[in-house]
């Protein structure tokens, strides 16, 4: 009898526990105020971000004071937003901008990770247009040919033609002497490479010249500025400026003033080059000056 009573009490307690569990499950499942999943893992955004983003960049000036590139040095980020402080923005990893003019601009980078956490870094740029250096005036050696035959040395280029002669005949020079280009046939030329031009500047090359008028043809005098060359075939392609004077226009009674205006382009060195056609010619007193 005792064993039967123990069994009955055990079955009764087991059924009671099952009843309570079933009742709890039914109650919680049917009551909308109770979240059956309230003990699940928390939402992603509620988790601690163990590696939050940190925004950082460096700025580099370009070819002029208005152009900048920005190198992104942020960590733990996947999305980026640049604000350049002038109304321009971008979303690339690295940044670049051309600013509208002088001024102070606050450049900001916002770096965001996949959890939506953001970091912002800002840097102030002060843009000031640099002062333009003065235009360099190149030095011409023996510009007036006043050292006699020694004056010819800076004007030699045997690859392009024979060297000039020197004249001391009255009326054909200024100072003590001048350069002489005999009647064509001797193929004499003057060539001098001069340095220290400021690139992209306008210059004026001035000189005195005259024709002799001892042929039936009207003489021509050609004066050019060239990039450096020793090949006659390259003269046209290497010319940055040239001018031609004609005997019938200039006359033959006195020295006339000639001027060649040219732009140096990208060059820091250019050569003065001159030669004549059809009649004996003279040239003297070279001078160069900057026009801007």
Please give the CATH number for the structural domain made up of 148-290. Answer: 2.60.120.260
- Lowest-confidence region among 42-51, 216-225, 256-265: 42-51
| Tokens, residue 269 | 């060195």
Mean pLDDT across 267-286 = 97
What ranges do the domains of the chain cover? 51-127, 148-290
**Mean pLDDT (whole number) for 13-37:** 52
pLDDT tens, 128-165? Answer: 999 988 999 999 999 999 999 999 999 999 999 999 99
The closest of 274, 267, 199 to 227, measured between CA atoms, is 267
CA distance 107 to 119: 14
Take residue 184 and report the two structure tokens written for it: 């064509």
Residue-wise pLDDT tens digits, 172-187: 999 999 999 998 777 9
Q: Is the pLDDT of residue 16 over 60?
A: no
**Residue-level pLDDT at 23:** 55
Residue 43, pLDDT > 90, answer no
- For 88-131, write each residue's pLDDT tens digit: 999 999 999 999 999 999 999 999 999 999 999 999 999 999 99
Confidence of residue 17 (pLDDT cuts 50, 70, 90): low
Confidence of residue 170 (pLDDT cuts 50, 70, 90): confident
Q: What is the pLDDT of residue 46?
A: 55
**pTM for this entry:** 0.61
- As its CATH architecture, domain 51-127 has Sandwich (2.60)
**8 A C-beta contact, residue 166 and residue 190:** no
The pair of three-digit structure tokens given for residue 131, joined into one six-digit string: 């002062």
Does pLDDT of 169 surpass 50? yes
Domains 51-127 and 148-290 share a fold: no
Specify whether the backbone of 10 is left (phi greater than 0), alpha (psi in -120 to 50) or beta: alpha
* Mean per-residue pLDDT, 44-65: 86
């Amino acid at each position: 009898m005792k064993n039967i009573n123990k069994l009955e009490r055990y079955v009764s307690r087991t059924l009671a526990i099952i009843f309570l569990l079933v009742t709890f499950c039914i109650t919680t499942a049917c009551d909308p105020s109770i979240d059956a999943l309230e003990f699940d893992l928390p939402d992603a955004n509620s988790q601690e971000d163990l590696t939050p983003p940190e925004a950082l960049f460096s700025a580099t000036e370009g070819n002029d004071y208005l152009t900048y590139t920005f190198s992104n040095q942020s960590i733990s980020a996947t999305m980026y937003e640049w604000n350049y402080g002038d109304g321009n923005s971008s979303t690339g990893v690295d940044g670049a901008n051309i600013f509208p003019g002088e001024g102070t601009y606050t450049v900001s980078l916002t770096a965001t990770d996949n959890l939506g956490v953001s970091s912002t870094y800002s840097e102030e740029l002060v843009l000031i247009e640099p002062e333009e250096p003065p235009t360099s005036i190149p030095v011409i050696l023996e510009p007036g040919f006043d050292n006699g035959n020694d004056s010819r040395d800076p004007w030699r280029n045997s690859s392009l033609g024979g060297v000039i002669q020197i004249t001391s005949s009255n009326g054909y020079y200024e100072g003590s002497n001048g350069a002489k280009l005999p009647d064509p046939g001797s193929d004499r030329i003057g060539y001098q490479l001069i340095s220290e031009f400021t690139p992209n500047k306008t210059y004026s090359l001035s000189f005195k010249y005259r024709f002799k008028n001892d042929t039936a043809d009207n003489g021509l005098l050609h004066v050019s500025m060239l990039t450096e060359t020793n090949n006659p075939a390259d003269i046209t392609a290497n010319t940055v400026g040239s001018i031609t004077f004609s005997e019938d226009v200039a006359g033959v009674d006195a020295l006339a003033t000639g001027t060649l205006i040219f732009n140096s382009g990208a060059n820091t060195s250019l050569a003065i080059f001159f030669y004549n056609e059809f009649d004996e010619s003279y040239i003297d007193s070279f001078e160069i000056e900057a026009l801007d």
